[in-house]
Every structure is written in C-alpha cells, then in structure tokens.
C-alpha cells in the first residue's frame, strides 16, 4: 500500500532542502484540537524509537530504519478513525507536518533521546530532542520523557534532575509532561533491561509523580502488567499505557491493555511498534483493535 507516494515523498525531500522555514509555517497553520474531547480517552501513535537507536521489531532488526517505510506506516495508522494523535522525535514530527498529516491531532514531542540503546551512558539519558520552548512555539500539546531508574547506576540521578526541570518548564507553559518511569537493571552481560517487577514499578511511579515544582500537568506512561492494580494505586495522575515490541506475543499485549483500561486512572494508550509493524502486516487491523479497546470500552 503506497500512502507516501513518489510525489509526496519527493516534495518532502525538496522542502527539506530548499525551504526549511516551511516547518514553522506549517506548524502555525496547523488545525488544532483540545487534548480532551468525547469519551476523554486518547489513542496516541509513538514514533520516537529511531532517535534512541531502536530499529528492531520482532525478528527484523532494521524494521524502523527505512524512513519512507516508517512514515508510510505512521500515516496509515494516523488516518484510522479513533486515533487521536502522535508522539515523535523532532525530525519525524516535522516530516509529518510537511506531509500535512498533523491537522486535528494531539501532538507530543519526544524530549530525551540521548540514552542510546546499548551505550555505556544509557541511563544518563540526555535531553537531545524537543525542549519546552519549541514545543510551545510549534503549538504542540506537550512533551514526553523517559525515566529509567537503576539505583546502582550514577547516571540515573542526572536523568531524574533533567526530567524534573522539564516537568517544571512544561507546566509553566501549561503543557502536558508525559513521564515514562521504568525500573531498570543490567544483566550479567552488562546490558540494560527494563523490569516489570511490581515493587520496582510502584517505586518508579512514586518517584515520577513527584517530579518538578508541580504535578498539575503531569501524565504517566506506564506498562500494562498482568495485575496492574498495585502500580496504578500508587498515583492519582492520569496514565497512558505503553506499547513496546510484542514479538510473537501481540495477542497477550492486547489482552493486557484491555485489562488495564478498566482502571479509572488510565486515560488511553501510547503504542508504536506493536501497531506500526505487527507480525501480520495489518497496520489498520491492529490500530482498529487498539481504538476499540480505548474508545469502544
């Protein structure tokens, strides 16, 4: 299926080279919508993985590396009824702006992408993407930040402090801070692994909820474990469920979203690879299933 056809793609390349001011112009003319409408729930497509050197989906190590393919899958997802918006790094949001795909969408900019996957500094997750001032200037709705917490890694505290400052900066502009707190540890080979152990999740939620000078504009992006009750009981903040790479466990992931959506703190879903690159290739089918879980329940 060709969504980003030759004409659209070559025009994007031309604008990138010849009219860089087009990004700000398109942002200024973009049709906006309120964050909360209708049933007060959100389906957000996440496309910020390549900026942190994550390309793999399932058994394809470079699934997200081809930018035209990634944009095509993203546009297919964004055009489905019931999809509310997108979360992406600056380059991808600007591509989507230039393609004219962000009208009437909720838009979150991805802020800290410096903790490159597999790097020795991975938990010192620098803010190398959007900042609050640019998110505000472009008329986006907020910023997302990743906070992986490993008590044994000194890089964690710098990331905690940077996230706290970003939460304060966004709130001062009345913009949403989407914080993704996850417990993490290194395995016997030194590779960083996110854990779903409940004590760690509860701790991460408590730490993230208290970041910044105010939590008035803070939302959390959290996993959907088999029994999410204790994790969700640790906060009163709005929660968006995260997706991840399901591999062959797509059906189990869908079931976990459905369970978690029954909790009142949960306001929707932020999913990327699981919807953009499903094992069967049916982007529309998997997006529609996610929309049904969020908006149909």
Average pLDDT by stretches of 10, the chain with 297 residues = 86 98 98 96 98 93 96 98 98 98 98 96 97 98 98 95 98 98 92 92 98 98 94 98 73 89 97 93 95 91
2, burial (CB in 10 Å: exposed 0-12, middle 13-18, buried 19+): exposed
Which tokens hold the place of 165? Answer: 């400052």
* Three-state SS at 59: coil
Q: Rounded to the nearest 10 degrees, what angle do helices 6-18 and 90-98 cross at?
A: 120
Q: Quick count: other Cβ atoms within 10 Å of Cβ 151?
A: 12
Q: What pLDDT score does 2 carry?
A: 60
Q: Looking at the DSSP assignment, which residues form a beta bridge with residue 85? A: 44, 106
Specify whether the CB–CB gap between 191 and 224 falls below 8 A: no
Q: Under DSSP, is residue 277 helix (H, G, I), strand (E, B) or coil?
A: coil
**Other Cβ atoms closer than 10 A to 152:** 9
Provide the residue ranges of all domains of the chain, joining segments of one domain with +.
6-295
- SS3 assignment, position 212: coil
**Cα distances (Å, whole numbers) of residue 96 to 6, 55, 73, 139, 277:** 15, 19, 12, 14, 18
- Confirm if 155 and 116 have CB atoms less than 8 A apart: no
Pair of tokens at residue 74: 């993203």
Q: Where are the beta strands (DSSP E) in the chain?
A: 42-47, 85-88, 106-110, 142-149, 176-186, 192-194, 218-222, 239-242, 266-271
Q: Which of 115, 125, 144, 9 is nearest to 66 (CA)?
A: 9
pLDDT value of position 105: 98
What is residue 60's three-state secondary structure? Answer: strand
Beta carbons within 8 Å of 28's beta carbon, 6+ residues apart: 139
Does residue 83 contact residue 287 with C-beta atoms inside 8 Å? yes
DSSP structural state of residue 49: S
Q: At what angle do helices 90-98 and 67-78 cross, to 10 degrees?
A: 70
- Give me the pLDDT at residue 125, please: 97
Interatomic CA distance for residues 180 and 219, integer angstroms: 9
- The residues, ordered by sequence, that sit 6+ positions from 23 with a Cβ below 8 Å of its Cβ are 94, 97, 98
C-alpha span between 203 and 234 (Å, rounded):
8
Right CATH number for 6-295 from 3.50.50.60, 1.25.50.10, 3.20.20.70, 3.30.1330.20? 3.20.20.70
pTM over 0.75, yes/no: yes
- What backbone phi and psi angles, to 5 degrees, belong to 256? -65, -35
- Residue 190's pLDDT is 86
Which residue has 């056809």 as its token pair? 5
């Amino acid at each position: 299926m060709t969504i980003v056809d030759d004409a659209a793609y070559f025009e994007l390349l031309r604008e990138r080279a010849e009219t860089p001011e087009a990004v700000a112009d398109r942002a200024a003319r973009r049709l906006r919508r309120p964050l909360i409408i209708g049933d007060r729930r959100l389906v957000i497509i996440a496309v910020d993985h390549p900026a942190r050197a994550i390309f793999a989906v399932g058994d394809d190590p470079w699934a997200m590396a081809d930018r035209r393919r990634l944009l095509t899958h993203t546009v297919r997802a964004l055009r489905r009824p019931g999809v509310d918006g997108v979360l992406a790094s600056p380059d991808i949001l600007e591509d989507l702006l230039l393609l004219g795909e962000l009208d009437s969408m909720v838009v979150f900019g991805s802020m800290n992408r410096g903790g490159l996957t597999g790097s020795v500094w991975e938990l010192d997750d620098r803010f190398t993407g959007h900042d609050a001032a640019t998110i505000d200037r472009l008329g986006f709705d907020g910023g997302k930040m990743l906070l992986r917490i490993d008590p044994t890694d000194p890089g964690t505290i710098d990331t905690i402090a940077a996230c706290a400052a970003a939460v304060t900066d966004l709130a001062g502009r009345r913009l949403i801070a989407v914080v993704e707190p996850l417990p993490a540890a290194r395995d016997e080979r030194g590779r960083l692994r996110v854990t779903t152990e409940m004590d760690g999740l509860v701790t991460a939620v408590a730490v993230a909820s208290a970041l910044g000078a105010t939590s008035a504009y803070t939302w959390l992006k959290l996993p959907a474990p088999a029994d999410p009750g204790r994790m969700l009981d640790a906060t009163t903040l709005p929660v968006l469920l995260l997706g991840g790479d399901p591999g062959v466990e797509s059906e189990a992931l869908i079931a976990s979203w459905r369970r978690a959506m029954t909790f009142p703190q949960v306001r929707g879903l932020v999913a990327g690879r699981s919807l953009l690159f499903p094992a069967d290739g049916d982007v529309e089918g998997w997006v529609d299933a996610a929309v049904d879980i969020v908006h149909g329940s």
